[in-house]
Structure 1
Amino acid sequence: MQAIILAAGMGRRLKQLTEHQPKCMVPVNKIPLIERMLRQLDQYDLEKIILVTGHKGELLRSFVESLSLRTTVVFIDNPVYETTNNIYSLYLAKDCLLEDDTLLLESDLIFEQEVLTQIIKDPRPNLALTAPFESWMDGTVVLIDQQDNIMKFLTRKDFRFEDIHSYYKTVNIYKFSQNFSSTHYVPFLEAYSKALGNNAYYEQVLKVISLLDDHDLKASRLENGFWYEIDDEQDLDIAESIFTDSQSRLLRLSERYGGYWRYPGLLDFCYLVNPYFPNSRLMGEIKASFEILTTSYPSGLDINNLLAAKSLGLDKNQVLTGNGATELIKPLLRSFEKPVGVLRPSFSEYENCAASVIPYTVSSRDFSYTAEDLMDFYSDKELSALVLVNPDNPSGNYIKKEDVQKLAQFCKDRNALLILDESFLDFSDKEEEPSFMTPEILNANQNLVLIKSISKSYGVPGLRLGILTCADPDIIALVRKELPIWNINSLAEYFLQIFEKYQGDYRDALKQFQETRDELFSLLGSIRQLTLYPSQANFILCEVRDGCSAHQIAELLLNRYNILVKDLSHKPGMEGRECIRIAVRNKEDNKRLCDALKHILR
């Protein structure tokens, strides 16, 4: 067997990175793409590797010759790389295709070793390596039947996003037998080039061959190993976070704060959403209006405040909508002259936004605390405001409504605000009506500022929706002046417009969630090395015992099982404790996580 690598392209989308070097020499974590690929191929007993060069070909040849590989590398130059596409690069290597079984690869790929091993060890002679299509992917897409026959190479005209669940993306790694090249690929390649020219992709030939009854080209569905195709700087950035050492990968992914749909198969137990809402009916309504929403301006802030107030049963003059709760937190916290009381551990954004803070560090073993604890601590301290996240993050600690009312009165007596974050309150099952978000309560407690992340409770973090409500017009005006006219998009506005009629579905989803949380708590509780702390939120705090490190557990989950959890070992207020936070997802995902934890801790 031999390998052919197509490396003639200019890689214009990588801009200055390919101005003075070929695309395949762009480094990923300091290792050029082509070096990584050649060293991976060098681990197999290949007869030779044929490298088709073009842009900066002499530089590429010189670099490859310096690598001291066991396998012989043969170079073929494409002198017209600027005016042709990769079909001509392969045409120049067609005689090599006739000499041996061949692996065909594109040089802008990065992958783990097991990706290559799968297609090489697969006994079937003619294969296209494929992966389930995901929304971030671009390039050649195929339809596959249950016997792995490639039924069709889809054109742009054929492609329908509503059918992507049945599509497969080619990984751009192929295996052709010598016979297949002789009887099918090379004859069709020559005919295609003669009839239609050389400014096309070599997959066009496969598309024609797939129409034959006897083409014998199968799909090999990728089972293990990561891969990525690097076309632009964003691809390069993502590839560097995937293909890094195991110690760095967790940090790099955590620093992205989301966007994980571009990471193949990643299961996110780090970020916190509602796994059972929105339901398909609500999503269907949004999809039906997607085109008009995407092409239309949203309403201004005042209209969206009115929408939110209507849906939540509040006075429109007491509500502000934000591009996520963080947009509302910042101007409020930065306005205070005196210190702000914050808890540790808790949601750090409040502490990060305040000019000065007086922290209350929770000292109990299980991270629980009461309203009385807070009042005792702050009784002799002068504050502008006290922040309470209830249930708290990451502990899940819950304070009953009557005790929160005492805390509001405590703050009022000291001319301080109580900033009450109810982002996780809907997940609680302790009380029937735990929320303070009613006109009656707000009007009776003008020093009370309520903040709620719609993203977390309603499961729409991509819409970036948050609510601030307060009966004090000065507080509303203070935050309002810092917000732009258009601060939320049309999709978020439409959600505000319609979600009121789905409140019954939302309540059902919360009941289903509470049952799932209880089941997850039970599953995690069966793992001897974990101590669990009761949670009224949509996550569970776990402390790792028996000398295990929370960071090690998080690394192993990510690197072995592609599961992301939150390592809390360095969070303020949790130093010296080995804790991880686990989001509650659906039952299937939760079981997968628990099985992975059992294997790691076993």
Structure 2
Amino acid sequence: MQAVILAAGMGNRLGKYTKNNTKCMLEINGTTLIERDLDALAANGIPRCVIVVGYQKQNLIDFVGTNYKGMEIVYVSNDVYDKTNNIYSLWLAKDWLLKDDTILLESDLIFENRIISDLLHDPEPTLAVVDLYQSWMDGTVVQVNNQKVITNFIPKKFFDYQERHTYYKTVNIYKFSREFLVESYVPFLEAYSTAMGKNEYYEQVLRVITTLEKNELKAFCLSGQKWYEIDDAQDRDIAEVMFCDDSDEKLSRMSKRFGGYWRFPGMLDYCYLVNPYFPTPVMLNEMKSSFHDLISEYPSGLNVQNLLAGKMFSIDEEQILTGNGAAELIRSLDASLKGSVGVVYPSFNEYPESLPSHQIVPLFPADMQYGLSELLRWTEQCDNLLLINPDNPSGNFIPKNDVIRLLDKMKDTGKTLVLDESFIDFCSLGASESLFSQDVIDSYPNLVLIKSISKSYGVPGIRLGVLASSNSTLIKKARKSLSIWNINSFGEFFLQIIGKYRKDYALACSQIIGERERFKILLEKTGLFKVYPSQANYFLCKLTMPITARALAKTLLADHNIFIKDLTGKKGIDGTSWVRIAVRNGSDNDRFISTINTIKGTIE
């Protein structure tokens, strides 16, 4: 067995990273791609590696040499790398292909070493490594039958998104038997190159071979092994997180991304808070059907968005503002609230970060729990009070009647209550506990209501939130900070059609409530957590065994691809034993519990 690595390309899309070096010399966390490739091959006993070089080839040759950890290195030069594609690079190495069984791979890949090991141990002589297609992938895909035979190579221009559930992405790692190379691939490679020229791709030859009656090419389907193809700076950034060996650094990097986790295959996000049961497939299909119009047309201005939000919540359009997520509206409060603001800690960071520090009166409940009596006492210390209900991250809940009593007291003393109800729909008593109603708003001009639609309705990608108040002066000041086009067309369309799906949404919230109670019991049974009561779609938990929150979060991410919220260092959190855990759907939560039980076994 030998290996062939294609490394002649220029990597123009990587910009400054490949300005003076070939693509495979790109470093990921301090180690070049070519070193990673060669390490994987050498670790599996490959005696010889043929590298096809081109752009800045001398840098690569000087760096690697002719022997790498006991593996012979041979170079084949593509001197017209800037005028050809990879079919010509592989054609230049055809004489080497005829000598032995061969592992073929491209040099812009980063992957787990075990992929090579698993490939070599598979008894099938000729295999293409493939992975079930996901939205972050790009390039050639294939279709595979029940016998793992590759039945079709589908290039980009023939990609059909309606069929993507049947596609597998080629990882660009192959195992070819010498017999296959001699009798099929190399002859077809020479014929195809002669007929079609040097500016084609070697996968096209494989595509032709799959049409033959004697098709020997089978799929080696990955099952969770990590890999990534690096074409541009964003790919580099993602790869540095995926393949970070320092678990502490990996957790820090992941935490600083604040989302975009769909680019990280298979990761379970227990940090960010959404509704896993909504939108329904029917609603999503309605949005998909209007995709072309939504992406090609301007959205309406803020007046129309406020009209739609008012319709959604049955509130006068002059008393409601629509934001690009609740975070945008929270930031607008800085110019709207006068005097000191009582903030219950720990809190959602957007609130204290939106206010000048001298304006904040910090309030610390005992053991993360508080009720009406504490709130009434705190109002004596400040001009305004912020209440997140249910609270984030504690899940603490104040019943509606108590909030009304609080409002009455604050109204009498001329104080404003900022009430965030982003998670109120997950309350066991349902939406009846919400103060988002015209009557309440009209009765209490000292009330500012905020709600994140992104979280409760499960649409964080379209970024929606609302702020409502009958205080016209406050509304006008907050509005000045908003752009006329702060909501995109997808958000507008959501507001337009949500009324048809109210019953589905209510059912989704009831599913969360049921799963939350089941998940709480399972979390407590692990013996690893003290689980605090919650009326939201997450739990505040204190670790009860000798492991820190940081250590647990690192282990979950590095070893199990699960991301939780480590609360260490958050204002109002005392010690290093606190985490917040989201409520996902039943199957995800079962996997989480199984993983926790595994980790617990290593602690005891």
TM beyond 0.5: yes
Q: Which residue of 2 aligns with 1:211?
A: 211
Give, in whole Å, the separation in 1 of the partners of 2:566 and 2:467.
29
Post-superposition offset of 1:339: 2.3
SS in 1 for 2:432: coil
Give per-residue Cα distances to partners, 1:147-174, cap 9 Å, x unaligned: 1110111133432212212210011100
Question: What are the equivalent positions in structure 2 for 1:69-148 lying under 5 Å apart?
Answer: 69-148=69-148
SS in 2 for 1:179: helix
Q: Which residue of 2 aligns with 1:386?
A: 385
Question: What are the equivalent positions in structure 2 for 1:478-497 lying under 5 Å apart?
Answer: 478-497=477-496
Give, in whole Å, the separation in 1 of the partners of 2:430 and 2:248.
43
Q: Which residue of 1 aligns with 2:463?
A: 464
Post-superposition offset of 1:405: 1.4
CA contact (8 A) 2:390 2:423 kept: yes
Q: Which residue of 2 aligns with 1:549?
A: 548
SS in 1 for 2:156: coil
Amino acid at match of 1:5: I
Give per-residue Cα distances to partners, 1:204-240, cap 9 Å, x unaligned: 1101111112121100011242110000000001101
Post-superposition offset of 1:449: 0.2
Give per-residue Cα distances to partners, 1:468-506, cap 9 Å, x unaligned: 000011011001111111000001000000101111111
CA contact (8 A) 1:293 1:491 kept: yes
Amino acid at match of 1:354: L
Amino acid at match of 2:363: Y
Amino acid at match of 2:552: I
- 48 and 431 in structure 1: CA distance in 2 versus 1, 3 angstrom threshold: closer
Give, in whole Å, the separation in 2 of the partners of 1:230 and 1:569.
34
Post-superposition offset of 1:433: 1.1
1:360 to 363, 368, 375: 363
Q: Which residue of 2 aligns with 1:26?
A: 26
Greater displacement, 552-561 / 235-244:
552-561
Give per-residue Cα distances to partners, 1:345-397, cap 9 Å, x unaligned: 12111011101311111222xx2111211222342x242x2110000011110
Give, in whole Å, the separation in 2 of the partners of 1:157 and 1:46.
36
- 80 and 304 in structure 1: CA distance in 2 versus 1, 3 angstrom threshold: same
Q: Which residue of 2 aligns with 1:345?
A: 346
SS in 1 for 2:71: coil
Q: Which residue of 1 aligns with 2:404?
A: 405
Determine if the alignment matches structure 1 residue 525 to structure 2 residue 524. Answer: yes
Q: Which residue of 1 aligns with 2:434?
A: 435
CA contact (8 A) 1:336 1:355 kept: no
CA contact (8 A) 1:276 1:513 kept: yes
Amino acid at match of 1:466: G
Greater displacement, 560-569 / 327-336:
327-336
Q: Which residue of 1 aligns with 2:510?
A: 511
CA contact (8 A) 1:114 1:224 kept: no
Determine if the alignment matches structure 1 residue 177 to structure 2 residue 177. Answer: yes
- 398 and 66 in structure 1: CA distance in 2 versus 1, 3 angstrom threshold: farther
Give, in whole Å, the separation in 2 of the partners of 1:206 and 1:411.
74
Amino acid at match of 1:344: Y
CA contact (8 A) 1:408 1:418 kept: yes
Amino acid at match of 1:518: E
Q: Which residue of 2 aligns with 1:260?
A: 261
Post-superposition offset of 1:67: 7.9
Q: Which residue of 1 aligns with 2:167?
A: 167
CA contact (8 A) 2:361 2:382 kept: no
Post-superposition offset of 1:125: 0.6
Q: Which residue of 2 aligns with 1:198?
A: 198
- 572 and 66 in structure 1: CA distance in 2 versus 1, 3 angstrom threshold: farther
Q: Which residue of 2 aligns with 1:375?
A: 376
Post-superposition offset of 1:528: 1.2
**Which sections of structure 1, spanning at least 5 residues, go unmatched?**
none
Give, in whole Å, the separation in 2 of the partners of 1:235 and 1:145.
31
Give per-residue Cα distances to partners, 1:441-469, cap 9 Å, x unaligned: 01110010000000111110001000000
Amino acid at match of 1:523: L
CA contact (8 A) 2:140 2:156 kept: no
Q: Which residue of 2 aligns with 1:158?
A: 158
Please, what TM-score do these two structures have when normalized by structure 1? Answer: 0.97
Q: Which residue of 1 aligns with 2:279?
A: 278
- 472 and 520 in structure 1: CA distance in 2 versus 1, 3 angstrom threshold: same
Q: Which residue of 1 aligns with 2:319?
A: 318
Give, in whole Å, the separation in 2 of the partners of 1:66 and 1:210.
36
Amino acid at match of 1:40: A
Give, in whole Å, the separation in 2 of the partners of 1:389 and 1:320.
19
Give, in whole Å, the separation in 1 of the partners of 2:215 and 2:533.
59
Amino acid at match of 2:115: V
Give per-residue Cα distances to partners, 1:321-351, cap 9 Å, x unaligned: 0000011110213444422110111211101
Post-superposition offset of 1:248: 1.2
Please, what TM-score do these two structures have when normalized by structure 2? Answer: 0.97
Give, in whole Å, the separation in 1 of the partners of 2:387 and 2:576.
22
Give, in whole Å, the separation in 2 of the partners of 1:378 and 1:446.
17
Greater displacement, 300-309 / 109-118:
109-118
SS in 2 for 1:320: strand
Give, in whole Å, the separation in 1 of the partners of 2:515 and 2:543.
22
Post-superposition offset of 1:190: 0.2
Post-superposition offset of 1:192: 0.4
Give, in whole Å, the separation in 2 of the partners of 1:184 and 1:431.
66
Give, in whole Å, the separation in 1 of the partners of 2:156 and 2:430.
54
CA contact (8 A) 1:115 1:224 kept: no
SS in 1 for 2:294: helix
Greater displacement, 102-111 / 147-156:
147-156
CA contact (8 A) 2:139 2:155 kept: no
Structure 1 stretches of 4+ with a deviation exceeding 2 A read 66-69, 155-158, 333-339, 409-416
- 58 and 440 in structure 1: CA distance in 2 versus 1, 3 angstrom threshold: same
Give, in whole Å, the separation in 2 of the partners of 1:180 and 1:577.
58
- 22 and 577 in structure 1: CA distance in 2 versus 1, 3 angstrom threshold: closer
Aligned residues: 598
Post-superposition offset of 1:69: 2.2
Give, in whole Å, the separation in 1 of the partners of 2:431 and 2:234.
47
Give per-residue Cα distances to partners, 1:5-61, cap 9 Å, x unaligned: 000000000112111110110111121111121122111211201111000001110
- 213 and 468 in structure 1: CA distance in 2 versus 1, 3 angstrom threshold: same
Determine if the alignment matches structure 1 residue 598 to structure 2 residue 597. Answer: yes
Q: Which residue of 1 aligns with 2:333?
A: 332
Give, in whole Å, the separation in 2 of the partners of 1:137 and 1:543.
38
Amino acid at match of 1:374: L
Give, in whole Å, the separation in 2 of the partners of 1:421 and 1:224.
39
Give, in whole Å, the separation in 1 of the partners of 2:458 and 2:310.
19
Determine if the alignment matches structure 1 residue 583 to structure 2 residue 582. Answer: yes
Give, in whole Å, the separation in 2 of the partners of 1:382 and 1:442.
22
Greater displacement, 122-131 / 521-530:
521-530
- Computed over aligned residues only, the root mean square deviation of the Cα atoms, in angstroms, reads 1.3
SS in 1 for 2:286: helix
Amino acid at match of 2:305: N
Post-superposition offset of 1:431: 5.8
CA contact (8 A) 2:379 2:410 kept: no
Give, in whole Å, the separation in 2 of the partners of 1:333 and 1:160.
48
CA contact (8 A) 1:339 1:355 kept: no
**Which sections of structure 2, spanning at least 5 residues, go unmatched?**
none
Give, in whole Å, the separation in 2 of the partners of 1:308 and 1:503.
14
SS in 2 for 1:308: helix
Greater displacement, 65-74 / 326-335:
65-74
CA contact (8 A) 1:334 1:353 kept: no
- 334 and 473 in structure 1: CA distance in 2 versus 1, 3 angstrom threshold: closer
Give, in whole Å, the separation in 2 of the partners of 1:267 and 1:163.
25
